[in-house]
Amino acid sequence: MKAQVYIAKSDEYGKRQWAYYEVPCAPSDRVSQALQYIYENLDADIAYRQCFCKRGSCGLCMMTVNGKCVKTCRTPVSPVMRIEPLPLPVVRDLVVSFSEREGKGRARQV
């Protein structure tokens, strides 16, 4: 199958724009694999966190896919995917800063 993938990329001023890609994939592939295909074959300029554990335990691969916050290493591809960063401060493209979330966590422990 070919998935239609829209990715929220940041322009030089930090404004989001949708970039479109067609990605060959199997139904059993994960969203993270589609992102890796795009990076390796279509757009090496895209910024995203590559999977670390690939088992759903570290959470570093989390993004917003079709409006839901998911772990991309555990989420199967769908025919149409809109991939955005998590609702946190965006560093670039799909990379967010977790420092705000970590700061809130520490505050709760005090």
Would you tell me which residues interact with ligand FES (CB under 6 A)?
A: 51-54, 56-61, 71, 73
Which residue's CB is nearer to ligand FES, number 4 or number 50?
A: 50
Calpha distance 61→31 (Å, rounded): 10
Calpha distance 3→27 (Å, rounded): 10
Tell me how far, at minimum, the Cβ of 15 lies from ligand FES, in Å. 28
Tell me how far, at minimum, the Cβ of 103 lies from ligand FES, in Å. 21
Q: Which residues lie below 8 Å from residue 40, measured CB to CB, with a gap of 6+?
A: none
Which residue's CB is nearer to ligand FES, number 60 or number 88?
A: 60
Tell me how far, at minimum, the Cβ of 71 lies from ligand FES, in Å. 4
What values do phi and psi take at 53, rounded to 5?
Answer: -90, -30
Tell me how far, at minimum, the Cβ of 61 lies from ligand FES, in Å. 3
Which residue's CB is nearer to ligand FES, number 41 or number 57?
A: 57
Element at 9 (helix H, strand E)? strand 2-10
What values do phi and psi take at 96, rounded to 5?
Answer: -115, 165
Which residue's CB is nearer to ligand FES, number 56 or number 66?
A: 56
